[in-house]
C-alpha cells in the first residue's frame, strides 16, 4: 500500500506576523514529499514513525466530533499492519514535515472530507484550516493549520488575516532570471515550540508589540503585495527592511553563527536573509537579485533555489 504524495511548503512571508494578523504567503515546495506506506518489516525510522502514528491516532479520537471525525478503526488497523509516513521532508527545518503527515491522514481517514476538487469557498478553506490547526497541535502545542492546508491543497495560499485566506496564483517563474529565492541550510535542527514561547514572552512587552505592528507587519504586508504584483524592485527594497528588523528584534531565532552573515547581506546587498518558519535552526530563507553573487558570498554553505525571478 502506498498513499498519494504530500509536499513540503515554504512560508515566503508571514512567520510570527500571522499570529498577530499580518499578511502571509505560503507556497508548495515539491522538492520534498511524503506518503503513507505499509510494510511488514519496518526499519528503525519507519518504526519511530509507526509509534508516532499510534499516539496520533489516540489524539485524533479526542478531537471535537462536530469539527471532524475519522475512521479510527481503519486507521488503527493499518497502523497495526505496519503503516508509517515515508517522508523526504527534513524535520525541524521549517518546511512543513508534520503538515504533510497531517494532510495525508486527513485525506485518507477523515469522514465527509473537503476535497481539492470542490469549489473552495473561503468558508471551506477556513474550516479546513481549523481542522488542520487542531490536528497539527498534537505536534507543536499550537498550530495555525497553514502547513497542512498548503500540503493538502498543493496551491499557494494567501493569508490576508486570521479569518481571511484564499487560494492564489503567483507570478510565473523566470527560468533564466538572475534573481532568486533560496534556502540556506543552517546545519542544525530548529524546535518550533521553544521559539514560539520566546516570541510569546516578548509579546508581553509593549515596545516589542509596537515594533511588530509598526515595522515587522508593515514590511511583511508590503513584501506579500510586491511579490504577488511581480514588483521586484519594491520587493527587494521591502525585504531588506524586513531582514533588518528580524536581525534587530528576532536574534534568538537566528542561529548565532549566522548573525554576521545576515548583517553582511544587508550591508553588501548581495542577498537578504529572513526566517523560514519559526527559526532556531533548519532552513534560512534568502532573497537575491543575483544568485551567482549570492553563491559566491555564501560559498561554503548549501543553497537550494526555490523560485527564480
Is the pLDDT at 155 greater than 70, yes or no?
yes
Domain 180-308 homologous superfamily, CATH: GHMP kinase, C-terminal domain (3.30.70.890)
The three three-digit cell numbers of residue 113, written as one number: 472530507
Give the pLDDT score at 45: 92
pTM of the model: 0.89
On whether the CB atoms of residues 195 and 94 are closer than 8 A, the answer is: no
Q: CA 238, CA 223: separation in Å to the nearest integer?
A: 6
Maximum alpha-carbon separation in the chain: 58
Look up cell 499510534; give the residue.
54
Fold agreement between 6-167 and 180-308: no
Q: What is the pLDDT of residues 233-274, one digit of tens each?
A: 999 999 999 999 999 999 999 999 999 999 999 999 999 999
Q: Any idea where the domains of the chain sit in the sequence?
A: 6-167, 180-308
CATH 3.30.70, domain 6-167, yes or no: no
CA-based radius of gyration for the chain: 19
- Residue 298's alpha-carbon distances to 92, 179, 190, 261, in angstroms, are 22, 15, 21, 8
Amino acid at each position: 500500500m502506498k498513499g498519494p504524495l504530500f509536499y513540503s511548503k515554504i512560508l515566503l512571508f508571514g512567520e510570527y506576523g500571522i499570529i498577530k494578523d499580518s499578511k502571509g504567503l505560503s507556497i508548495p515546495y515539491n522538492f520534498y514529499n511524503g506518503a503513507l506506506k505499509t510494510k511488514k518489516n519496518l526499519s528503525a525510522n519507519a518504526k519511530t514513525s509507526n509509534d508516532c502514528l499510534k499516539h496520533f491516532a489516540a489524539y485524533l479520537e479526542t478531537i471535537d466530533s462536530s469539527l471532524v471525525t475519522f475512521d479510527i478503526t481503519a486507521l488503527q488497523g493499518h497502523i497495526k499492519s505496519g503503516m508509517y509516513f515515508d517522508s523526504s521532508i527534513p524535520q525541524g527545518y521549517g518546511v512543513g514535515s508534520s503538515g504533510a503527515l497531517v494532510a495525508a491522514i486527513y485525506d485518507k481517514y477523515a469522514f465527509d472530507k473537503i476535497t481539492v476538487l470542490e469549489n473552495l469557498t473561503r468558508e471551506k478553506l477556513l474550516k479546513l484550516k481549523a481542522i488542520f490547526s487542531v490536528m497539527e497541535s498534537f505536534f507543536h502545542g499550537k498550530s495555525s493549520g497553514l502547513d497542512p492546508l498548503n500540503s493538502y491543497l498543493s496551491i499557494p495560499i494567501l493569508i490576508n488575516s486570521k479569518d481571511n485566506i484564499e487560494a492564489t496564483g503567483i507570478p510565473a517563474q523566470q527560468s533564466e532570471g538572475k534573481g532568486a529565492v533560496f534556502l540556506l541550510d543552517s546545519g542544525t535542527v530548529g524546535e518550533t515550540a521553544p521559539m514560539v514561547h520566546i516570541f510569546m514572552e516578548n509579546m508581553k512587552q509593549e515596545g516589542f508589540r509596537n515594533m511588530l505592528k509598526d515595522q515587522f507587519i508593515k514590511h511583511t504586508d508590503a513584501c506579500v503585495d510586491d511579490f504577488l504584483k511581480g514588483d521586484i524592485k519594491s520587493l527587494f527594497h521591502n525585504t531588506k527592511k524586513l531582514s533588518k528588523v528580524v536581525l534587530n528584534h528576532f536574534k534568538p531565532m537566528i542561529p548565532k553563527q549566522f548573525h554576521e552573515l545576515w548583517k553582511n547581506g544587508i550591508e553588501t546587498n548581495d542577498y537578504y536573509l529572513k526566517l523560514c518558519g519559526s527559526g532556531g535552526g533548519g532552513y534560512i530563507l534568502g532573497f537575491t537579485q543575483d544568485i551567482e553573487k549570492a553563491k559566491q558570498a555564501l560559498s561554503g554553505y548549501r543553497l537550494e533555489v526555490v523560485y527564480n525571478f
